[in-house]
Structure 1
Amino acid sequence: MSINLSSFTPYDLRAKLGEQLNEEVAQAIGYAYAKVTKAKSVCVGGDIRLSSESLKNALAIGLSQAGCRVIDLGLTGTEEMYFATVHYKLDGGIQVTASHNPKNYNGMKFVAKNATPIGRENGLEEIRVLAENILNNYQTSLTNQNLGPIEKHSCLEHYIKHLFTFIDLTKLRPMRLLMNAGNGAAGHVIDAIEQHFQNHDIPIDLIKINNHPDGNFPKGVPNPLLHDCREETSHAVIDHQCDLGIAWDGDFDRCFFFDSKGLFIEGYFIVGLLAEAFLSHDPKQTILHDPRLTWNTIDLVKEAGGKAFPSKTGHAFIKNDMRQRDAVYGGEMSAHHYFRDFFYCDSGMVPWLLVIELLSTKQQNLHNLLKGRIALFPNPGEINFIIEEKEKAIAEVENFFRDQDEKAINIEYFDGLNVEFKNWRFNLRCSNTEALVRLNIETRADPQLLEDKLTLLKCLLNKWIKK
């Protein structure tokens, strides 16, 4: 029975542990990566999952068998791998991680020189095919010729130094922050940042919970997009009387914010906040945003004199678009934030540093800073529907709104179906990896209209859900 590596997505690998991902598969992928990209030097890092260390080691062996010099970064978040690829001037990097997927999953994220993402359109499909051929021995096998060296290095000190180039430490006012690493990979970076504050006598007090990395996930897989994952952070912010709460996913390339009242702040409004922060320094800059929720971001960017453009959801797409447009910042409502000065990559550490500097300079708390914006563009957050016939369901919704007396200002397909009216709009898109249709909807300062239209859309979509 031949092995089919079907768990490659358009921009990474996410797979159940077993036939789709094990040490043999990882070794083949490492070898295939080097052969397809012709890389001679590659770094590898791994998150805190129990399988990550052995998969990372096998990946390194495969790279080495192809003649690569390999730098093993040890336990890292994804952005540390991005940084190391650039810092060490390597030909590429691979992070072993499944981010917020269940415990029985793992995966890989791939970049080339300068931390440029490798996706299906620029090499990932060829890597998959060659790895499959190796595993099925279609006249292709691993060789032990020209074994490259495997070295162990940490770039933590240089990475921390780079993070602090984004803010001016002298602007920070006294603040107490609740930090929830979720027992993921963020803990060692939080500790290093805390030490940096202390070394420079910066009055930022960090209250840390679940800071120790633990691949058993004693509190569950960290994914603050899920409502069940937010309660502990929310309560801890209130109990410790913190000014702000920050929580991360497993590989900490996303961070999530809670205000001083313990209220979760949707990533959509953080995108607008960070866009405004960059444009306050240079109003002529370009900002990218995803097409799911847009009005708040477009409004703020226009107000600040910048230029806003939509980009398809997914790190490979937005990073490519940022490079083409030379955008200073790109943000997704899923809490991925991308920065030109971080090699156009996403970071889960840069955003909260920028936010505490912004709160310090504006002398406001996050709740007061955002409550007006949240009232202007109410939305319920992303809602998922388990639907097998995803495309048919979305096509039927499109036809419904084309036939209504209330004519839409715009109906288009761009990373899903976008339908816009004068006072409300929505985006409906298929998940790339699951039988899910994802809905995002917003109105212009009209909670009742939001409730009415949400009820309508749920009615249209629920009939596609199999009982």
Structure 2
Amino acid sequence: MSHTFDPTVLREYDIRGIIGETLGPDDARAIGQVFGSMLREAGGSKVAVGYDGRVSSPILEHALVEGLTACGCDVVRIGMAATPMLYYAEASGEEIDGGIEITGSHNPANYNGFKLVFQGRPFFGEDIARLGERAAAGEWMDGTGATETRAIMPAYIDRLLAGLDGVDPEALAAMRIGWDAGNGAAGPALEQLAARLPGEHHLLYTEVDGNFPNHHPDPTVEANLEDLRALVAEKGLDFGIAFDGDGDRIGAIDGEGRVIWGDQLLMIYAEDALSRHKGATVIADVKASRALFDHVAQCGGKPLMWKTGHSLIKSKMKETGSPLAGEMSGHVFFADDYYGFDDALYAGVRLMAASARLGRSVTQLRGAMPAMVNTPEMRFQVDESRKFAAIDEVKARLAASTADSPVEVDSTDGVRVTSDDGWWLLRASNTQDVLVARAESDSQQGLDRLMAQIDEQLKLSGLERGESVGH
């Protein structure tokens, strides 16, 4: 027997597709058999499995568990859970060797997928490619594994609350916060967490509904924060927090309704963390604001710009011993007093803690940030065969033209060009046939000049910035 996946589903950071079109139970079963076999060959035997609130998730979970047990792995089923709860089960369970969360994350309701952890590290890139090759060749073990069901919610909530240890209880008790679970998988955990948090808490859309009837659960899109913004305004709350569909991305607004973007949240977390971890490295992806890297340096930390992608960031954190990292997309990773994975519920708790420890409200912290003029993340369709080649052409042209100029070119992930006007970025998405662009300046005129440079480089490669497409 062998299994061939649709070529679009095996991606850089995870496995993801459209239910009934590119992804189904047979794929889930094959993932279980091959992943389980790879784990057994590495000396492991027990896998934690969880799933999000999508309509298709229970069917995929059933097939995945069949595949895992058919290759001789034992399975710990944690049921419906946010992705960080699955990560927690894997990280805290001494006898657990791997973990798989079935989730479509922030994608539309007809998508689903798999996020995988292998012996405490992200399973991505070459691992996923190898899984596809082995499935096509029918390379998997046979065996008979056992299954057990484990309720980990109580221990997980206790662990989240530990993020407030040692923080002034009076400052926490005075906080009034809005939360929007977006009908995603984090809803039940949020209800239990909020019931035990100090302060006053107002919750939106905690009922899990895989059709997402209120708004799409992607907190990086400002339109999806409108209900939270209205709640904060109506109740006069201090700030609001929103989650994506599987609870590993955080979005936030302050008491005045201003969005606190991923890199701005990281500025708050960094100031707090660096007060306790002097000189530590703080990592952010190439889409993050210059203001963040400057702020980390001002707080005595070492700013490090790295490639976009939660698996790549987690790997770099381990390599550098960094206590904190984050992405523009709202993935924030705490490794100082936590496990180093992205957990939006824990990030919400840590925002409370940071505000209390720094002695300033979230609104004050947001208001003190420099006013940068920047674009949102612009994503436009480019043929798969051209996207990386076009970036290489831009790099080559810049190398030839900037030899004697004050322009700085960083090619960590695509091309990030810094000049007196600010910076612009062009990179190829690892997961879609799109190029990503972003620019930031101190003035609108500067931003216009930067955008003209992006457009000129695209034109020289026979491309143009078309309509922006979603994730």
Q: TM-score, normalised by structure 1?
A: 0.90
Q: In structure 2, what is the equivalent of residue 18 of structure 1?
A: 20
Q: In structure 1, what is the equivalent of residue 10 of structure 2?
A: 8
Question: CA separation in 1, counterparts of 2:333 and 2:366?
Answer: 21
Q: Which residue of 146, 149, 155 maps to 2:146? A: 149
One-letter amino acid of the counterpart of residue 92, structure 2: H
User: Secondary structure of 1:373's match?
Assistant: coil
Q: Residues 48 and 215 of structure 1 are in contact (CA less than 8 Å); yes or no, is this contact kept in structure 2? A: yes
User: Secondary structure of 2:368's match?
Assistant: helix
Q: Which residue of 81, 98, 109 maps to 1:103? A: 109
Q: How does 1:41-80 map to 2 (within 5 A)?
A: 41-80=46-85
1:370 aligns with 2:366: yes
Q: Residues 56 and 96 of structure 1 are in contact (CA less than 8 Å); yes or no, is this contact kept in structure 2? A: yes
Q: Which residue of 287, 295, 298 maps to 1:303? A: 298
1:342 aligns with 2:342: no
1:120 aligns with 2:131: no
Query: CA separation of 1:274/1:466 partners in 2, compared to 1, >3 Å: closer, same or farther?
Result: closer
User: Secondary structure of 1:346's match?
Assistant: coil
1:293 aligns with 2:291: no
User: After alignment, is 176-185 or 297-306 more displaced?
Assistant: 297-306
Q: Residues 423 and 450 of structure 2 are in contact (CA less than 8 Å); yes or no, is this contact kept in structure 1? A: no
Q: Residues 36 and 71 of structure 2 are in contact (CA less than 8 Å); yes or no, is this contact kept in structure 1? A: yes
Question: CA separation in 2, counterparts of 1:465 and 1:291?
Answer: 19
One-letter amino acid of the counterpart of residue 24, structure 2: N
Superposed CA offset, 1:60-106 (max 9, x none): 11111111110111011111111101222201000000101122211
How far residue 353 of structure 1 moved from its aligned partner, in angstroms, is 1.3
One-letter amino acid of the counterpart of residue 368, structure 2: G
Q: In structure 2, what is the equivalent of residue 192 of structure 1?
A: 192
Q: Residues 243 and 259 of structure 1 are in contact (CA less than 8 Å); yes or no, is this contact kept in structure 2? A: yes
Between the two proteins, what is the percent identity of the paired residues?
A: 29
Query: CA separation of 1:369/1:220 partners in 2, compared to 1, >3 Å: closer, same or farther?
Result: closer
Query: CA separation of 1:404/1:87 partners in 2, compared to 1, >3 Å: closer, same or farther?
Result: closer
Q: Could you tell me which runs of 5 or more consecutive residues in structure 1 were left unpaired when the two chains were aligned.
A: 135-139
How far residue 27 of structure 1 moved from its aligned partner, in angstroms, is 0.9
Q: Which residue of 222, 229, 232 maps to 1:227? A: 222
Query: CA separation of 1:141/1:269 partners in 2, compared to 1, >3 Å: closer, same or farther?
Result: closer
Q: In structure 2, what is the equivalent of residue 164 of structure 1?
A: 161
Q: In structure 1, what is the equivalent of residue 350 of structure 2?
A: 354
Q: Residues 293 and 440 of structure 1 are in contact (CA less than 8 Å); yes or no, is this contact kept in structure 2? A: no
Q: In structure 1, what is the equivalent of residue 135 of structure 2?
A: 131
Query: CA separation of 1:25/1:349 partners in 2, compared to 1, >3 Å: closer, same or farther?
Result: same
Superposed CA offset, 1:107-130 (max 9, x none): 00110123x111123x32222222
Q: Residues 238 and 363 of structure 2 are in contact (CA less than 8 Å); yes or no, is this contact kept in structure 1? A: no
User: Secondary structure of 1:148's match?
Assistant: coil
Q: Which residue of 261, 265, 278 maps to 1:266? A: 261
Q: Which runs of 4+ in 1 moved over 6 A?
A: none
Superposed CA offset, 1:165-209 (max 9, x none): 222352514122111100001111111112222xxxx2x111111
Q: Residues 268 and 365 of structure 2 are in contact (CA less than 8 Å); yes or no, is this contact kept in structure 1? A: no
RMSD: 2.4
Question: CA separation in 2, counterparts of 1:332 and 1:65?
Answer: 37
How far residue 395 of structure 1 moved from its aligned partner, in angstroms, is 4.9
How far residue 133 of structure 1 moved from its aligned partner, in angstroms, is 3.5
What count of residue pairs does the alignment treat as equivalent? Answer: 451
Q: In structure 2, what is the equivalent of residue 137 of structure 1?
A: none
One-letter amino acid of the counterpart of residue 133, structure 2: V
User: After alignment, is 219-228 or 336-345 more displaced?
Assistant: 219-228
How far residue 423 of structure 1 moved from its aligned partner, in angstroms, is 3.8
User: After alignment, is 414-423 or 445-454 more displaced?
Assistant: 445-454
Q: Residues 324 and 333 of structure 2 are in contact (CA less than 8 Å); yes or no, is this contact kept in structure 1? A: yes
Q: TM-score, normalised by structure 2?
A: 0.89
